Amino acid sequence: MKIFLDTASLKDIREAAKLGVVDGITTNPSLLAKESGDPEEILVEICKTIDGPISAEVVATDAEGMVKEGRHLASLHPNIVVKTPCIPEGLKAAKILSGEGTRINMTLIFSATQALLSAKAGARYVSPFVGRLDDISTPGMELVADIIQIFDHYDFDCEVLAASLRHPMHVLEAARMGADIGTMPVAVFNALLKHPLTDSGLKKFLEDWEKAKAQMAAKAGR
């Protein structure tokens, strides 16, 4: 499963990129609004930091406006993927932009039928929002499973991007199901690697090694 970070924080992205396992970034207007600086400059810097798909979302709500914005966003850097909302106008815009070769990430997907229509409109990625469904007592991971099952029957050139992942169990379940991508906040990403037994195990190895070295040094000195 490819790992994307769901953030527009350059500081966090630069730090996480050092681990060498981040495949892409998803941003949205809320995430970009949290950062100081020009959003387009931030997007270009993100593209220079991570050589993978970087999602940038349109804010127009009519197809014509989305297409115009999408073309502009795509012109910023070859890594940019244009995010369009899963509404009728978003579908129309996706059809046009994908026809021109722009990669589309259809966002705000809350049903499998929305994902099906998005793939038919030429979206390169569909983003089911797991956490936001969980928030309203609807099992978000079941949506990811449904979309994977549907896509398995057909030849869509469309990847399932499990989004709105809120904790490591979401990531684990998405990977078990075979989601193509999981996008997550940096805190969730960091938690994926953390294990107290790894830390205590390493501490013990190093202590034993130091003890052995001290014993060898003592013997040599006798």
Residue number, 26 or 79, with CB nearest to ligand E4P:
26
Residue number, 28 or 98, with CB nearest to ligand E4P:
28
Name the amino acid, one letter, at 24: G
Taking phi over 0 as left and psi of -120 to 50 as alpha, with beta for the rest, 72 belongs to alpha
Residue number, 114 or 183, with CB nearest to ligand E4P:
183
CB under 8 Å to 78, separation ≥6 — which residues?
Answer: 47
> From the CB of 162, what's the least distance to ligand E4P, in Å?
9
Quick check: is 83 catalytic?
yes
Look up tokens 């931030």; give the residue: 42
Q: Are 148 and 178 in contact (CB under 8 A)?
A: yes
- Catalytically annotated residue among 11, 83, 92, 194: 83
Cα–Cα distance list, 177 to 149, 162, 171, 180 (Å): 9, 10, 10, 9
> From the CB of 214, what's the least distance to ligand E4P, in Å?
50
> From the CB of 132, what's the least distance to ligand E4P, in Å?
5
What is the contact surface with ligand E4P in residues (CB under 6 A)?
A: 6, 26, 28, 107, 127, 129, 131-132, 163-164, 183
Q: Which residues are catalytic?
A: 83
